Amino acid sequence: MGSCGGKHTGKGAPKPYSRNFTDPWRKTPGRLFGTALIRFYQITLSSLIGNSCRHLPTCSEYAYEAIARHGLWRGGWMGFFRVVRCGPFGTHGFDPVPRELSPDLKWYMPWRYWRCSASRTGK
């Protein structure tokens, strides 16, 4: 039998497809708990509710990535406000998670995460 000659194992192998954030992130207990809740929702309830998100990435993908990038407290608030913005008369379109958060976003003022998005911060 012939072989294509390519190496299909190791670093050169393609990553399996995942709808969630796949970059490396710190696995702290809060982040693991938050992402586990989001993943549980995606596996169980998301199929019952249907595809009704007005954004890309979807609200659950956004919340998963926000928690993975910024931790349970900040990412959780960002995900919560994203779900609220997704409703009728809310925003729509492409709205990725910002890579870095503005320094004026303090942990004790969670209402400031309401309009936190990559399109506003430019990052």
Q: How confident is the model over 44-66, as pLDDT tens digits?
A: 988 888 777 888 888 999 999 99
Exposed (0-12), middle (13-18) or buried (19+): which is 78, by Cβ within 10 Å?
buried
pLDDT at 62: 92
Residue 10's pLDDT band, with cuts at 50, 70 and 90, is low
**Closest C-alpha among 90, 83, 92 to residue 64:** 83
Under DSSP, the state recorded for 73 is H
67 in a structural domain:
yes
Domain limits at 42? 27-121
Q: What would the two tokens of residue 115 be?
A: 């309009």
Task: Name, in order, each residue with C-beta under 8 angstroms of 28's C-beta and a sequence gap of 6 or more.
Answer: 71, 72
pLDDT at 17: 56
Structurally, the chain folds into a number of domains equal to 1
- Residues 55 and 76: their CA atoms lie apart, in Å, by 17
18 in a structural domain:
no
pLDDT at 2: 55
pLDDT at 117: 64
pLDDT at 40: 94
**Closest C-alpha among 51, 75, 57 to residue 20:** 57
11 in a structural domain:
no
17 in a structural domain:
no
Q: How confident is the model over 61-115, as pLDDT tens digits?
A: 999 999 999 999 999 999 999 888 888 888 888 888 988 888 888 878 888 877 7
pLDDT at 90: 81
82 in a structural domain:
yes
58 in a structural domain:
yes
